[in-house]
Structure 1
Amino acid sequence: MAFPSPRPRPPRFPTQQFRSYECNQGAVRAVRFNVDGNYCLTCGSDKTLKLWNPHRGKFLKTYTGHGYEVLDAVGSCDNSQICSCSGDKTIILWDVATGQLLRKFRGHGGKVNCVQFNEESTVIVSGSIDCSIKCWDCRSRKPEAIQNLNEAKDGISSVKVSDHEILSGSVDGRVRRYDLRMGQLIADFIGSPITSVCFSRDGQCTLSSSLDSTLRLLDKETGELLGQYTGHSNEQYKLDCCFNEADTHVVSGSEDGQVYFWDLVEGSQAAKLSVGKGVVQSLSYHPTQTCLLTATEGTIQLWGDETYEGEMQPAE
């Protein structure tokens, strides 16, 4: 006797707001989960970087040293260090525990929009409005970058790094992927200024967001357009896009105060989350859970679903 196959479980979305924090950093330019999703970083227009435990509602540390607003930050693979970038043209490497400034890297000719560690957190990759991507050796005392990538014709808005690739989005409307093992550059022309790029979690696809209010899913190897996602508003601001923790849905902030979710395969809008009246400029998806951080104006919000609620800790 054959038993019927079980029904597929309906997708889950982080539609319940568990916490909201006033960061007291001016406008929050970026919010980022760390590598295991236990902590987060917020980048402020008041020149500060802050470390939080969003699940307990606990502020942990402030890092000061930039001369202008902090635009992006990321934690290292072992959570011992943080790198951040700023409108003051610098990248700073921090010690998480002490808050000490370990290194300051200078060399960009304009504000630095985005920053990433490599997989071993030994190299920092930065993208700037000066049209360049630079790689910095965290272990060397030499002040200059160890590699310069100058192919873009306009400012770099977003960079992501895999074990051997650098993915970048530029205001010149191109998504570029540098294969460091093969020494190759693959460029895909989108036509509208790129605001955000990312790899899918399985490493097979790339996602880009652009100022024509469209997200595009590309096959990483062939550049084939696999899907387009529309319905949100993105015409003026640099907004984040990403995949959910299961690689089944595409997520983006919007200028209308919403977060949009689309089915990866079908391209249809699957859910919409009302965050507030301001632009949802930044978001960060938990690496393993149905959990989302959003940033709008000077506030960040933590969202989850009923499965995540049981893991929440009481506020301290």
Structure 2
Amino acid sequence: MSYPAPKPKPPELPRVLQRRLDCNQGAVRAVRFNVDGNYCMTCGSDKSLKLWNPHKGTMLKTYSGHGYEVLDAAGSCDNSQLCSCSSDKTVILWDVAQGQVIRKFRGHAGKVNCVQFNEESTVIMSGSIDSSIRCWDCRSRRPEAIQIMDEAKDGVSSIKVSDHEILAGSVDGNVRRYDLRKGEMCADYLGNPITCVSFSRDAQCVLVSSLDSMLRLLDKGSGELLGEYTGHQNQSYKLDSCLSEKDTHVVSCSEDGTVCFWDLVEGSLALKLRVCKGVVQSLSFHPSEPYLLTASEGGVQVWTGESPEGESTATEG
């Protein structure tokens, strides 16, 4: 006779505080893993962008060139370049090794909230409070944007890029998806200001967080509502949310000092991780491991999966 296959282990969640990074950047506006999860970037209110090895807790390089606080950053597909955006209305392309500005892009009429590279890292997309998304050619010396998408009626708060699509969330309550191959734009109106958008790993679903303390999972093609997730607080701040590395859980920052994890299918709150007393404004999930970065109170917290026996875990609740 054959024995039944063992029941698969439940997905591991990053609930153990491994270390804290004292960033010395004022308020940390955003923390972002690079494409392979070996390094991360922190964006500071002191106008600086810093590169870290979070696994060892070491700061590798500081990039200074913005005239005001840095709000978002992203790494290129080969880790040779970074891009960042700021309240000074600019987008900067950086050489990682040299720590120098390669190109500075100007054209937005207000602060730039978010930046992303395309899949080949030849184009930077930026979303601004001026209600536009602008595309910048990294290889050209032309100073102007090569494309402007200005369908939003209010500020663009978040963008994500797949191989041929741009996903954008706006304060006007719309989630817009631009298909670059077909030259089409689809919009879904959710009724509340959008704070963060992201694709699932298979790019078939879209996760949207908004200022009604709600996260919604939508079918990308039809716009059908697949799930709703509540239990966190998001009524005043632009907070990050995402899906875990295997699309098993929804993860979100909260204004009550916690990070919440929900089971993707059941919608139940699986874990509420206590991070700080203030607002957890930014997070970044490792692309392939149960490894989480959170930003709050001027620093970054590094979270891993289950600890070996005898080690204590961070307080949950």
Bin for the TM-score computed over the shorter chain: over 0.9
Overall identity of the aligned pairs, in %: 73
Q: How does 1:80-229 map to 2 (within 5 A)?
A: 80-229=80-229
Q: The residue matched to 1:121 in structure 2 has which SS? A: coil
1:238 corresponds to: 238
2:286 corresponds to: 286
Q: Counterpart amino acid of 2:107?
A: G
Q: Counterpart amino acid of 2:39?
A: Y
Q: Counterpart amino acid of 1:108?
A: H
Q: Counterpart amino acid of 1:131?
A: S
Q: The residue matched to 1:35 in structure 2 has which SS? A: coil
CA distance in 1, matches of 2:108, 2:295: 27
Q: How many residues align?
A: 309
Contact 1:118 1:124 in 2 (8 A): yes
1:297 corresponds to: 297
Runs of at least 4 residues of structure 1 off by over 6 A?
A: none
CA distance in 2, matches of 1:106, 1:298: 28
1:50 corresponds to: 50
**For residues 167 and 180 of structure 1, do their structure 2 counterparts lie closer, same or farther at Cα, with a shift above 3 Å needed?**
same
CA deviations 1:172-209 (Å, max 9, x no partner) are 00000000101110100110000000000111100010
- TM-score, scaled relative to structure 2: 0.96
Contact 2:15 2:306 in 1 (8 A): no
- TM-score, scaled relative to structure 1: 0.96
1:313 corresponds to: none
Q: Counterpart amino acid of 2:114?
A: C
CA distance in 1, matches of 2:18, 2:270: 21
CA deviations 1:36-59 (Å, max 9, x no partner) are 000000000000000000111111
Q: The residue matched to 1:255 in structure 2 has which SS? A: coil
CA distance in 2, matches of 1:146, 1:294: 34
CA distance in 1, matches of 2:76, 2:7: 40
CA distance in 2, matches of 1:21, 1:248: 28
1:10 corresponds to: 10
How far apart are residue 11 of structure 1 and its match?
Answer: 2.2
Q: How does 1:240-259 map to 2 (within 5 A)?
A: 240-259=240-259
Q: Which runs of no fewer than 5 residues in structure 1 stay unpaired?
A: 310-316
Q: The residue matched to 1:280 in structure 2 has which SS? A: coil
2:313 corresponds to: none
Q: Which runs of no fewer than 5 residues in structure 2 stay unpaired?
A: 310-317
Q: Counterpart amino acid of 2:76?
A: S
CA distance in 2, matches of 1:22, 1:106: 31
CA distance in 2, matches of 1:209, 1:299: 23
Contact 1:291 1:308 in 2 (8 A): no
How far apart are residue 307 of structure 1 and its match?
Answer: 7.4
CA deviations 1:232-280 (Å, max 9, x no partner) are 0000000000010111100000000000000111111111111011111
Contact 2:278 2:296 in 1 (8 A): yes
Q: Counterpart amino acid of 1:263?
A: D
CA distance in 1, matches of 2:141, 2:231: 48
**For residues 244 and 35 of structure 1, do their structure 2 counterparts lie closer, same or farther at Cα, with a shift above 3 Å needed?**
same
CA distance in 1, matches of 2:166, 2:308: 32
CA deviations 1:61-106 (Å, max 9, x no partner) are 0000100000000010000000000000000000000101000000
Contact 1:88 1:111 in 2 (8 A): yes
CA distance in 2, matches of 1:278, 1:208: 23
2:262 corresponds to: 262
